[in-house]
Amino acid sequence: MSAAALAVLRETFGHPAFRGPQEEIVDHLVAGGDALVLMPTGGGKSLCYQVPSLMRAGTGVIVSPLIALMQDQVAAMRLAGVRAAFLNSSQDAETARGVEKALRAGELDLLYVAPERLTTPRCLDLLAACPIALFAIDEAHCVSQWGHDFRPEYLQLSVLHERFPQVPRIALTATADPQTRAEIAARLALGDARVFISSFDRPNIRYTIVDKADPRAQLLAFIREEHKGEAGIVYCLSRKKVDETAAWLVSHGVNALPYHAGMESATRTGHQARFQREEGIVMVATIAFGMGIDKPDVRFVAHLDLPKSIEGYYQETGRAGRDGLPADAWMTYGLADLVQQRRLIEMSEASEEFKRVSGAKLDALLGLCETAGCRRVRLLGYFGEDSLPCGNCDTCLEPPETWDATEAAKKALSAIYRTGQRFGAVHVVDVLRGKGGERVSRWDHDKLSVFGIGADLDEAAWRSVIRQLVALGFAAVDHEAHGALKLAGASRAVLKGELSVEMRRVVARRKVAPAARASAAAALSGEEAALFERLKAWRGAEARSQSVPAYVVLHDSTLAEIARSRPRSLDALGGIGGIGAKKLERYGPALIGLVASE
């Protein structure tokens, strides 16, 4: 069976071999088994259902929550010679009827369907009347109520097991901790499915978390110094901040666009299309943007606000570097982020159990932010994967200093207590540093024993101490008292001298050399690089004529290999990765002509 699968892989997709567990997953599915697949973004999840769909009788039905991206997914399949279509609410009735007719006639290899459409009685009856090769449930973490992308409509997908018990199902996600993994299996009735778990490691991504000072200026410096003219995504928590940040970046020469659910639908869709199809655009967005983004050359993902969980952080940062080349995950982080996320949890109308789980997830993320060790070790450990220090995160490249902060912690906790546990960090820091002022004197806090006892540390250091006290659970934020700091139960042991406290020291970070910016064309000679640029220009024109992203035509890596090997025949061109039979037939003569004309 593997030989047949490999033949489909080569003939249709132009790949010489499967990667990782792909072949085993394909064989399992072709044989009729169910599967739950956890594989990192860019790991090749799509091939795990595309190849079996072409090998089994009937149509492969892919459940996807991404209406805006189905068109590109279908276009990519059609260029590879796969008979693909989609059904969703963006189509008019006549177009939808045409797709349904093709499905009934057995003229489709793949059908992409939104979950809202799939679970309607009409769609289920349609599928029941047609031979179905398999069901693929993409972005399966959307079924988890504990997850960061919960979609209520996904809860209804257990109907597939009930209505089509003989049809194999595969659920796929790029992120799931053990709790979410169990929930996916339970809610989709995949208890007997075989579970395939790939490494969550994305070694090409450099993780960096910096102390928040002037976040927009820090972001601009990061883009200018390390990613000028390159595609990236900047995540913000609010729609207002998205609009303001995008406008500010544009005013400073960055080709940036905003994206959030509050925009007009046509504008939002247009911005997404430009990001997909043009080069060098920075998309500033809420987390409403990005799920399922197939753009391979996103060189960085930046967070100006703290995500809700490690799952959210991992999913969002995973959109960088899908092509396997060096990319950055960069985030600014400060006490205000921590306070804001705690407030969102505590003020929500969710159940106490949901709040408890959300709080635990936030604590795990804070541990990642505050660690003095390797960030990748901490990140992978959250998903149950052991690893060694990576050498490609900020804490490995420039190990942070740690210090015995026990006395500083006592002073800060004492100041919180002596000021009545009614004031925020700014006021407490002023008292500690002996900084007078109308507000301090109004409450006679300049007469307290703690006034000025922290004059040996500067303001940034005390902000860091207080942030780490909150992150470590020694202090808490009272949101009903407008963000006032208060003592947590664990503080007693510190104040009584029964517990020592070690913290990361805030220092001016040295300039770490940017990651080596390898590209698909990095190793090309002068003549090869010139041919590569001509090939890119041809690809751009071809993509525009078909209204598809350039990478859907051919990836940069394929163009680079053409430039390097300079094939003079269709047979030689067909041996290059990424060129299947259909693309060889469609593009071969033009590509050979470009090579011959140099």
DSSP-assigned letters across all residues of 477-543:
EEGGGTSEEEE-TTHHHHHTTSS--EEEPP-PPP-PPPPP---TTTT--HHHHHHHHHHHHHHHHHH
Give every CB contact of residue 454 below 8 A, 6+ residues apart in sequence: 408, 411, 412, 415, 429, 432, 433, 434, 462
Q: What's the pLDDT at 102?
A: 95
Which residue ranges make up each domain of the chain? 2-197, 205-397, 402-504, 526-596
Q: Is 248 exposed, middle or buried (0-12, 13-18, 19+ CB in 10 A)?
A: middle
pTM: 0.81
Considering only the top CATH level, what class is 526-596? mainly alpha
Q: What SS3 string covers 347-364?
A: CCCCCHHHHHHHHHHHHH
Q: What's the pLDDT at 510?
A: 47
Q: What's the pLDDT at 551?
A: 83
Query: How many other C-beta atoms can be found within 10 angstroms of the C-beta atom of residue 333?
Result: 23
For the chain, 598 residues long, give each residue's pLDDT as a single digit of tens.
Answer: 578 999 999 999 988 899 889 999 999 999 999 999 998 877 889 999 999 999 999 999 999 887 767 888 898 899 899 999 999 888 888 999 999 999 999 999 999 999 989 999 999 999 999 999 999 999 888 887 655 567 778 888 999 999 999 999 999 988 777 778 888 999 999 989 999 998 889 999 999 999 888 999 999 999 999 999 999 999 999 999 999 999 999 999 999 999 998 999 889 888 988 998 888 999 999 987 766 577 888 999 999 999 988 988 998 999 999 888 899 999 999 888 888 888 888 888 888 888 888 888 888 898 899 888 899 999 999 888 888 999 999 999 988 888 999 999 999 999 999 999 999 888 999 999 998 888 888 898 989 999 999 999 998 889 889 988 988 889 888 766 667 899 988 899 999 999 999 998 876 554 555 554 556 666 788 888 889 989 989 998 898 888 888 888 888 889 989 999 999 999 999 889 889 999 999 999 999 989 888 6
Q: What's the pLDDT at 34?
A: 96
CATH no., domain 402-504: 1.10.10.10
| Whole-number Å distance between alpha carbons of 597 and 444 | 84
507's tokens: 């220092």
- Domain pair 402-504 / 526-596, same fold: no
Beta strands in 203-317 (DSSP E): 205-211, 232-235, 256-259, 282-285, 300-303
Closest among 274, 295, 63 to 167, alpha carbons compared? 63
Give the architecture-level CATH label for domain 2-197.
3-Layer(aba) Sandwich (3.40)
CATH superfamily of 205-397: P-loop containing nucleotide triphosphate hydrolases (3.40.50.300)
24's tokens: 């085993």
